[in-house]
Amino acid sequence: MDVGIKGFGTYVPEKVVDNAYFETFLETSDEWISKMTGIKERRWAGEDQETSDLAYEASVKAIKDAGIKPEDIDMVIVATSTGDFPFPTVANMLQERLGLGKVATMDQLAACSGFMYSLITAKQYIASGDYQNILVVGVDKLSKITDMTDRSTAILFGDGAGAAVIGEVSEGRGIMSYEMGSDGSGGKYLYLNPENGKIFMNGREVFKFAVRIMGEASRNVVEKAGITADDVDMFVPHQANIRIMESARERLGIPKEKMSVSVNKFGNTSAASIPLSIGQELENGRIKDDDVLVLVGFGGGLTWGAITLRWGK
Ligand code: UT7
């Protein structure tokens, strides 16, 4: 059975925050932020918008795009580090709000690798034959856990959501290969600091890890899929920093025009970043049926995950 994406949707909050905003209270500049990260602006959720609200908007679009009814969804997996509450989970909340049946729901925490982990998890349930339509959401409201007094992290993060309905797809389409991994010894470089409830990051260390692991994991999944880098139509790395993404692209051996870049518009949105980038390319007609995509994420944990996927239902 081939398992892939049957429906897809994204959502970003309306509020646009440009780099100049940070100049008003931090010692930074649009020039530094643009040059060092590739970020020009990001979206922040409104006061009354919680993580589950962002997830809901993207999910409605994905279910509609799949051409199924909410009651056809038989499981929900939400990748997030910023759930409204530790419990009930965002997935629990979606079950009620979307009017789903009394189905299994779970939040899944692998930080910025979360959407990769969740897609790969959903694939196993579909392939077992026990489930038919799993709603997978990558969502984060990082603005609520960002330390706005720390100039090296405040400028990086944004809010958003992406959702996919995972199920059986036409022969030859869907997930061709995948890899997941973790290294807890790097947990100290990127974590939620219990003292202030905000993100702590050692940027240099995360940077080094990211460049190495994104290149390695991408190359591994391409090889596992039995293809070469030349067969890849679109490379969609976690949108953390344009310099990290460029290094990973070079290590994989993909031309510049085949890399998806949305970090300039959305910043780093953690679990939402890969689906937001896919959404942008779909909108621009840069991803078509039967295109081969390489998706790769890395993040806190430290964790990583990569997927080769042939697009289409
Ligand atoms: O989803 C995964 C999460 N995280 C990431 O992917 C982030 C990975 N890391 C990075 O993207 C980069 O490490 C940063 C963009 C955060 C920083 O870039 P860097 O090349 O690692 O610079 P650095 O931390 O070594 O800092 C260089 C200088 C420092 O000044 P000194 O010590 O050389 O005087 C920083 O204090 O840049 C300074 N700096 C800033 N300057 C202006 C740090 N942040 C800023 C800022 N504006 N916002």
- For ligand 1, whether the C-beta of 222 sits within 6 Å is no
pLDDT at residue number 27: 97
Contact 105, 83 (CB under 8 A): no
Give the active site residues. Answer: 112, 238, 268
Cβ(206) – ligand 1 distance below 6 Å: yes
Measured from the Cα of 29, ligand 1's closest atom is: 47
> Tell me, what's the pLDDT at 219?
97
Q: Which of 152, 207, 247 to mutate for ligand 1's pocket (most ligand atoms within 8 Å of CB)? A: 152
Q: What is the residue-wise DSSP string for 22-66?
A: HHTTSS--HHHHHHHH---EEEE--TT--HHHHHHHHHHHHHHHH
Specify the fold of 3-168.
Peroxisomal Thiolase; Chain A, domain 1 (3.40.47)
* Share of residues in the chain with pLDDT > 90 (%): 100
DSSP secondary structure of 103-118: -EEEEE--GGGHHHHH
Q: Would you state the pLDDT for residue 305?
A: 98
Structure confidence by residue, pLDDT tens digits, 23-62: 999 999 999 999 999 999 999 999 999 999 999 999 999 9
| Residue 112 CA, ligand 1 centroid: distance in Å | 18
Residue 163: the pLDDT is: 98
Residue 268 confidence (pLDDT): 98
Rounded to whole angstroms, what are the CA distances from 231 to 5, 31, 295? 20, 36, 14
d(CA 166, CA 252): 27
Specify the DSSP class assigned to residue 268. Answer: B
β-partners of residue 77 are 106, 136
pLDDT in tens, 223-238: 999 999 999 999 999 9
Condensed to tens digits (0 to 9), the pLDDT of residues 137-180 reads 999 999 999 999 999 999 999 999 999 999 999 999 999 999 99
Residue having the nearest C-alpha atom to atom 2 of ligand 1: 299
In this structure, the residue with its CA closest to atom 13 of ligand 1 is: 203
Our answer on whether the CB atom of 207 is closer than 6 Å to any ligand 1 atom is yes
Taking CA atoms only, the protein residue closest to ligand 1 atom 12 is 203
| pLDDT per position as a tens digit, 262-301 | 999 999 999 999 999 999 999 999 999 999 999 999 999 9
CATH topology of domain 174-310: Peroxisomal Thiolase; Chain A, domain 1 (3.40.47)
Region(s) of the chain under CATH 3.40.47.10:
3-168, 174-310
Which pLDDT score is estimated for 281?
A: 98
Give per-residue burial for 203-229: e unless 16+ CB within 10 Å, then b: eeebbebbbebbbbbbbbbbeebebeb
